[in-house]
Amino acid sequence: NTQKRILTLALLICVAATALGFRLFKIQLLDGNGYGRAALRQRTQGVAWGFARGDFLDANGQPLTGRSGVWKAVLFP
């Protein structure tokens, strides 16, 4: 009786491991390119931000800073 339960449990574990192995094979080898493209689209995104401050001017009204755009890395959790 105990031997039968152990054999049944071992068989269930083998079936589950085989099913997980086939699923892993499908995800990595068959669908891997699609998942890679989806991850790349999700990972990188260009966002245009407006200037947070106005111009810095000297006493004569001449700008002290440039108004050119700057690339920055911003992380969103």
How does pLDDT run across 27-52, given as a tens digit for each residue? Answer: 999 998 999 888 888 877 777 776 66
What pLDDT is recorded for position 31?
92
Distance between CA atoms of 22 and 20, rounded to whole angstroms?
Answer: 5
Distance between CA atoms of 66 and 55, rounded to whole angstroms?
Answer: 9
Helix or strand holding residue 24 (H, E): helix 2-25
Rounded mean pLDDT, 4-13? 97
What pLDDT is recorded for position 30?
92
